[in-house]
Amino acid sequence: MYHEPILVETFLSFFSELTIRHYIDGTVGAGGHAHAILEAHPEIERLYGFDRDPEALEIAGETLKPFQEKTTLIHANFLDFNRYVPESVEGIFLDLGVSSMQLDRPEKGFSLYKEGPLDMRMDPSSDLDAESVVNFCSEKDLGKIFRDYGEEPRWRAAAKAIVEARRKKPLKTTTDLTEALKSVLTWGGRRGKKINPMTLVFQGLRIYVNDELGGLEKALPKGIEALAPGGRFGVLTFHSLEDRIVKHTFRQFASQEKTIKILTKKPLIADAEEIKRNPRSRSAKLRFIEKL
């Protein structure tokens, strides 16, 4: 398997008492979590696996081959899952963000270390890519993207540097972008020595290009609605912006709507051993709820 599923034992433990007939994996990726749940729950009649990235779906198809009769893989944004899933479900899982496979493919433009085109689209058929954002957004809008989606403290300087660089020539590659920014975003300082200074600008662009936060805000209430009573919904996030949305939405449904119970007061995180084995798990936070 390509992608070691994060917090997989903890994830399985939330479903261990449940009889699952229908299940949605909204971010099937390489199929790691999906494989684990299908193996642990032979009673599953249908697993719906969504991904915006067709290459991820191909890999998921391979991983889930032993279960292909009960698996439906769908190329779509998970926020549209109710167009494809006719019944209520006992389990839903989202493992957000980009996968290590996507990061490893320089042609996607996500990597801070390998040169690629300024693409950053998870779904290659969607309209907006990072190249158009970087070359055509106003300085003010670029600043907002870096501030709101990257939480980059030097958002103003970063936006200005890009606008100055693109006056000379359009930015086409991830190297063009890092070259444009290297005098304003430097190693060390408040970020610490280990964090690449371009990390937050790349994160902001990626979140904007893929409308990651908007998609999550729309998907969570729909997911809660689709759960059968007693059904469980887990979300694995990788940065504070995502986790905040999940925490607030779950709290709102638990306290105002009173349709769910929160199973994780605090988010669960990976232990030192897992972080060593799989560095991507370092920033992972897992939250689970149950439908009443």
Half-sphere exposure of 120 (CA within 13 A, CB side): 28
49 lies in the binding site for ligand SAM (CB under 6 A) = no
53 lies in the binding site for ligand SAM (CB under 6 A) = yes
CB 152 within 8 A of CB 158: yes
223 lies in the binding site for ligand SAM (CB under 6 A) = no
- The residue from 47, 118, 120, 122 that contacts ligand SAM (CB under 6 A) is 122
Angle at 14 between CA 13 and CA 17, to 5 degrees: 85
| Binding-site size, ligand SAM (CB under 6 A) | 20
d(Cα 102, Cα 120) in Å, to the nearest integer? 9
234 beta partners? 93, 288
15 lies in the binding site for ligand SAM (CB under 6 A) = no
243 lies in the binding site for ligand SAM (CB under 6 A) = no
DSSP of 200-240, one letter per residue? HHHHHHHHHHTTHHHHHHHHHHHHHHHEEEEEEEEEEESSH
CB of 104 to ligand SAM, least distance (A): 12
Burial class (CB in 10 A: 0-12, 13-18, 19+), 83: exposed
274 lies in the binding site for ligand SAM (CB under 6 A) = no
234 lies in the binding site for ligand SAM (CB under 6 A) = no
Name which of 77 and 203 has its Cβ closer to ligand SAM.
77
CB 46 within 8 A of CB 24: no
71 lies in the binding site for ligand SAM (CB under 6 A) = no
- The residue from 52, 121, 239, 285 that contacts ligand SAM (CB under 6 A) is 52
- The residue from 11, 23, 48, 50 that contacts ligand SAM (CB under 6 A) is 50
- Tokens found for residue 127: 């309209």
CB of 259 to ligand SAM, least distance (A): 23
Number of other residues whose CB lies within 10 A of the CB of residue 80: 15
Distance of CA 181 to the CA centre of its chain: 25
3 lies in the binding site for ligand SAM (CB under 6 A) = yes
Name which of 51 and 131 has its Cβ closer to ligand SAM.
51
CB of 213 to ligand SAM, least distance (A): 10
d(Cα 244, Cα 239) in Å, to the nearest integer? 9
Binding residues for ligand SAM, per CB under 6 A? Answer: 3, 5, 27, 29-33, 50-53, 56, 77-78, 95, 97, 99, 122, 215
